Chains A and B, each alone.
Chain A
Amino acid sequence: QLQLQQSGPGLVKPSQTLSLTCAISGDSVSSNNAAWNWIRQSPSRGLEWLGRTYYRSKWFRDYALSVNGRITINPDTSKNQFSLQLTSLTPEDTAVYYCVRGPLYYLGTTTYYFDYWGQGTLVTVAS
């Protein structure tokens, strides 16, 4: 059974960098048919897709325009996990952050949906 286990701080100061890690069991971060996403949820912004990384002969990374320039998602094949770094935090970045798997392909064509979710990490940006 695939499981995603998140770790990282729950409180970060404004202007600092958020770092979260997602450990994968039951699948491989290097899978040819999986994308590894970060999604956040807050009362003010709802659900918001932040970005993803996936492997297709080489590593790819896609980021949402709303956080592009502040976000980095990296795979760690030695530990079978992936991470999120989000810089220059403001109180608007306060949210529950989820690591999420999504299939890359359905019936041979590119697809976009999210089938396995981590437990979520409440991140509060405050001094």
Chain B
Amino acid sequence: QSALTQPASVSGSPGQSITISCTGTSSDVGAYYLVSWYQQYPGKTPKVIIYEVTQRPSEVSNRFSGSKSGNTATLTISGLQAEDEADYYCCSYAGGTSVLFGGGTKLTVL
């Protein structure tokens, strides 16, 4: 199975909102409500920021939100801050013993 498709990079100015898409198929993103998103700073370990498409861990800012439509999941970051500059990865269960990650999106805060 192929990795999920994410844009290689997105950018935005402080205070703006940005979205990062994660496109899969009807066998993974479209089939299950099991999409998660991870934030990773250079040289650091990934951190979960969204799970089950829309759920946010208590310690994660409410500026982060997730959604899904068909085979595409979307991460939205509102009120962009400099500290949001990082790599973001989506992940989806794909049935059986298959878990897929996206290729990652580098977010630049201008």
Q: Which residue of A106, A113, A117 contacts B45 across the interface (Cβ within 8 Å)? A: A117
The reply to whether the CB of A112 lies closer than 8 angstroms to some CB of chain B is yes
How far is B91's CA from A118's CA once the two chains are assembled, in angstroms? 18
- What is the CB-to-nearest-CB distance from B18 to chain A, in angstroms, rounded to a whole number? 21
Chain A-chain B contacts (Cβ-Cβ < 8 Å), number: 59
Q: Cβ of B48 and Cβ of A114 under 8 Å apart?
A: yes
A113 and B51 in contact, given A118-B45, A119-B45, A120-B45 (Cβ under 8 angstroms): yes
- What is the CB-to-nearest-CB distance from A38 to chain B, in angstroms, rounded to a whole number? 11
Q: Cβ of A46 and Cβ of B101 under 8 Å apart?
A: yes
Q: Cβ of A47 and Cβ of B46 under 8 Å apart?
A: yes
Query: Chain B 11-23 against A: per-residue CB contact (8 Å), 1 yes, 0 no?
Result: 0000000000000
Which 8 pairs across A and B sit closest by C-beta, in order of nearness?
A113-B36, A113-B51, A47-B101, A49-B99, A112-B93, A62-B97, A117-B45, A112-B34
B residues with a Cβ closer than 8 A to A are 3, 32, 34, 36, 38, 45-48, 51-52, 55, 57, 89, 91, 93, 97-104
A residues with a Cβ closer than 8 A to B are 46-49, 51, 62-65, 98, 106, 111-115, 117-120
